[in-house]
Structure 1
Amino acid sequence: MRRRIPLPLPNTGSMYRRRNAYCIRATITIFVLFILLQIHVSYYSESRDPIVGDPTNDSTAAILSMVPSVFHKFLKVKTRNQTLTAVGNHNGTTQNLYLEVYHPPNITEIKRMIAKYNELQIVLNEDTFGPLQNDSVIIVIQVHTRITYLRHLIVSLAQARDISKTLLIFSHDYYDEDINDLVQTIDFCKVMQIFYPFSIQTHPHEFPGVDPGDCPRDMKRDQAIIRKCNNALHPDLYGHYREAPFTQTKHHWWWKANRVFDQLEVTRFHTGLVLFLEEDHYVAEDFLYLLELMEKRAHDLCPQCNILSLGTYLKTFNYYTYNSKVEVMPWISSKHNMGFAFNRSTWHGIRVCAKHFCSYDDYNWDWSLQHVSQQCLVKKLHAMIVKGPRVFHIGECGVHHKKKNCESNQVISKVQQVLRIARNAGQMFPRSLTLTVVSLIKKTKLRKGNGGWGDLRDFQLCMNTTIPTRKNTTHRNIKIK
């Protein structure tokens, strides 16, 4: 008969301890995985949409904290309204204080100074950084009166890699001594100033300013003919007459392009890229690096491209996905007019089409340039565009936009946060470029102009600007007094 051996009773205390330990380890593992997932989601979210930051973190102190102290001098506001001069008496024991009131120059003096600047073609800091190389990047900045935005643009330029190799050309349509002083304090690269000589400031009561005999904007053509006001027979395609502030922007852009490519002595043999910016732009520290990378890869990635575009008007910026990606499409004025570059070869094609640019009934230079591409150029304008922008628009106010607070720091603060997150995430200075799905190159539909350019005087002034007048002027590193 078999003997039945009883099984040992389970040690309930030991089993409980093992089960408890297992539960604790599982809980800890799940918690760690949860934390890691949150970190990943947070990082990815920041990279995808870094524009969503602390909306209250837009104080002047917060903005300054994100700018190296060595560049704070460009943000310091100086006033010319009045200064106190201390003068001692004959025995040197007391001082008398005299108030010196600043008197801005009159129109005659402004015209004289503008003519002097344009004649001398001064290149500042050339003794420090050497002459312009033929393949160096020239950066042309169109400036009006918004000095606050210009200060931040200069700060962003100062922080860019290889900025010392460039030539900055500031093209002004308003003579302002505070702006001149700011530009002339730039010490990180070569600098030149050019001045549009046919501005509203210098011609306030005559064309191309506002002539008292001009037809009012909304006057009917029949009434204008009866009144015999200027250009009565030629309103724009919407029946309106010219408005000088709107026409000036197109005139200025066309003048500065002709001036830079065909008239300045320093650019006589230049074959590199010319990058176009405006006073209310802001650049990333790797914008020149990326521009050079795009130029090198254009032959392989986009043989038909003759424009490189670094800017965008998007509200969110996905650096996590798009930091090194580019796309190709026909150049579109409303999308690719910010931070774009082309060389002398492209310019020659555009200049030959001057009549199309100057006669197109649209006061916008970018729409006029698109019209040139569609109607005149043998090789249409095609752009290589960065998906992760390196040029940002920080202007809240301008020709088309009027707001109560034109000095808001909010947009500047957001751009700083975008670039800080991209920098910390290692999304700047990509080693290579990747072409995303190439947009289908369809025939762009011809668009009706926006008007504002029906006056025959504007057409003639624009055409006269196109005549090359390069002079053999030796640019000297001196200061105008």
Structure 2
Amino acid sequence: MWHHKNVLDYIRTGSVIFLMIFIWLHLNFSGLDEPSSKYSKLNNADAVISSAKSAEPPITSVYEEILSNMPNISTIKRKIAQYNQEQVVHNEHKFQPLRNDSVVIVVQVHDRIAYLRHLVASLARAFGISEALLVFSHDFYDEEINSLVKTIDFCKVTQMFYPYSTQTHPREFPGDDPRDCPRDMTKEEAVMKKCNNALYPDVYGHYREAKFAQIKHHWWWKANRIFSRLKATENHTGPVVFLEEDQYVAEDFIYMLKLMEKHCRIFFKHCNILSLGTYLNAYDYRLDSGRVDASPWIGGKHNMGMAFNRSTWNQIAECATDFCEYDDYNWDWSLQHLSQRCLKHELQAVSVRAPRVFHIGECGVHHAKNDCGLTSAILRVERVLKSANSHLYPGHLILGSSTDLKSKRVNRNGGWGDRRDHRLCLDMTIR
């Protein structure tokens, strides 16, 4: 009798454990919309080392972390899947439908709400904003940020969420898998340890860092979704402006964009990217407000407040392999590589001399300071725009330097040697 009771206890205990594991798997791996669900398989190394099981963390610590994060992560995944499926456009009843000449503004958002508040405030003051569609693309789910977005009443607005973030995948690819090779481990050590992707460090011998890889993945997913998966923009052929959470716009940035677009159609028909920002520290709005320059598109020069349309995107998407397999974790340098190596003609940019988009972020992924200087950065930009006020809204444009010379080749920055990143990026591509 005693033996029979113990057997029943073991069966009950085993059933409870099995049920808990089944529920966790169901909550964490259901409901994501795109691309197809291959990525639990990608956590293993390539075929040569995929069967190895060494370097596993202690079982107890893994289970403890799973149990502690289970409700939070599963809830977040469910909510972002719902946002991405429903695609609700707020304020749609207040403003006219999106036209082909309307501007779509896409903001890539992480978690810096202080910066985002200032960007939203500057957008609210922009001339013509009521005709635009504002899209927030998030790689971090935060209710405070969502509440900020819901306060926007000056234009149509919608949100979408990158579904493969480090937040929702904290201990598995595309996040940081405990079995991944440490960044600075040598290839010889990695092969001996049999950690994930040991055979494929980057060009400098380093292994992937998830927080950096995510930025390029998010940018690519966002662009694909805007042009191919978002109902509100599926037939839109007008300009799409790409902004980031730590940027700030001048009140005439939409006016200037449309003026540049018109100018290109008439005088510079090879132009396919418009750039509203600049990294120059000195500019004179009295002299330069209406001046623009034409040149091949350069990643580190024309990536701020850049805009292009569906026709340009279709060319870019056809060269997805060059973007996704290029060993550089920066989306802009990868785009320049694509432009130089794949396109029949390099991307051509028309850029402003006096900026309409400003960078106010002193801290972020690449910079860690005790004092991020947000207040001083905002004051500096506001002083610039106040002094430039009478020179905004130029009546016409003056084309400055123009060259047909190809841009210089750039060195790869690495950080993108992992074959799993290549596959994930390509699987998010919609041609």
Contact residue 276 and residue 306 of structure 2 kept, 8 A: yes
Aligned residue among 362, 387, 394 for 1:430: 394
Compute the displacement of 1:380 (Å).
Answer: 1.3
Find the counterpart in structure 1 of residue 19 from structure 2: none
Aligned match for 1:458, one of 406, 421, 431: 421
Partner of 1:442: 405
CA distance in 2 between partners of 1:370 and 1:114 (Å): 31
2:423 aligned partner, one-letter code: Q
Matched residue SS, 2:157:
strand
Alignment of 1:329 with 2:295, yes or no, is yes
Shift in Å, 1:407? 5.1
1:165 and 2:131 aligned: yes
Highest CA radius of gyration, 1 or 2?
A: 1
- Residues 1:300 and 1:361: Cα distance change in structure 2 (over 3 Å): same
Does structure 1 residue 130 correspond to structure 2 residue 96? yes
Q: CA RMSD in A?
A: 1.4
1:408 aligns with 2:371: no
Output the CA distance in 1 between the equivalents of 2:212 and 2:245.
Answer: 17
Q: Counterparts of 1:265 and 1:166 in 2: how far apart (Å)?
A: 15
Q: Secondary structure at the match of 1:110?
A: helix
2:198 is aligned with 1:208: no
Identity of aligned residues (%): 61
Secondary structure of residue in 1 paired with 2:93: helix
Matched, 1:342 2:305: no
**Aligned residue-pair number:** 363
1:244 aligns with 2:210: yes
Which amino acid is the alignment partner of residue 111 of structure 1? K
Shift of 1:436: 1.5
2: CA distance between counterparts of 1:408 and 1:340?
A: 23
**Structure 1 residues without counterparts, runs of 5 or longer:** 1-102, 469-481
Contact 2:291/2:352 (<8 A) preserved: yes
Q: Is the 8 A contact 1:167 1:191 kept in 2?
A: yes
User: Is residue 74 of structure 2 the alignment partner of residue 108 of structure 1?
Assistant: yes
Q: Indicate which of 97, 104, 122 corresponds to 1:156.
A: 122
Distance (Å, rounded) in 1 between the aligned partners of 2:96 and 2:405: 45
Q: How does 1:25-424 map to 2 (within 5 A)?
A: 106-406=72-372, 408-423=374-389
The answer as to whether partners of 1:301 and 1:435 remain within 8 angstroms in 2 is no
Tell me the amino acid that sits aligned with residue 451 of structure 1: G
Q: Could you tell me how far apart the structure 1 residues matched to 2:182 and 2:348 are? A: 39
Q: TM-score, normalised by structure 2?
A: 0.83
Structure 2: stretches of 5+ with no match in the other structure? 1-68
How far did residue 417 of structure 1 move? Answer: 0.6
Letter of the structure 1 residue corresponding to residue 213 of structure 2:
T
1:433-472 Cα distance to aligned partner (Å, 9 max, x none): 111232x33232322210000000000000000036xxxx
Distance (whole Å) between structure 2 residues aligned to residue 104 and residue 217 of structure 1: 27
Q: Please report how far the alpha carbon of residue 200 of structure 1 lies from its aligned counterpart in structure 2 after TM superposition.
A: 0.1
1:328 and 1:466 map into 2 onto residues whose CA distance is 30
- Cα distance in 1 for partners of 2:211, 2:291 equals 38
* Residues 148, 407 of structure 1: 8 Å contact kept: no
Greater length-normalized contact order (CA 8 Å, ≥ 6 residues apart): 1
Residue identity matched to 2:397: L
CA–CA distance in structure 2, aligned partners of residues 318 and 176 of structure 1: 40
- How far off is 1:402 after superposition? 1.3
Between the aligned partners of 2:192 and 2:222, the Cα distance in structure 1 is 38
Distance 1:104 1:137, change over 3 A: farther
Q: Matched residues in 2 for 1:146 and 1:265: separation?
A: 28
| Alignment partners' CA distance in 2, 1:335 and 1:104 | 43
* Structure 2 counterpart of 1:434, one-letter code: I
Distance 1:146 1:104, change over 3 A: farther
Alignment partners' CA distance in 1, 2:328 and 2:91: 39
Q: State the shift of 1:303 in Å.
A: 1.6
How high is the TM-score relative to the length of structure 1?
A: 0.74
Provide the C-alpha distance between the structure 1 equivalents of 2:337 and 2:253, rounded to a whole number of angstroms. 28
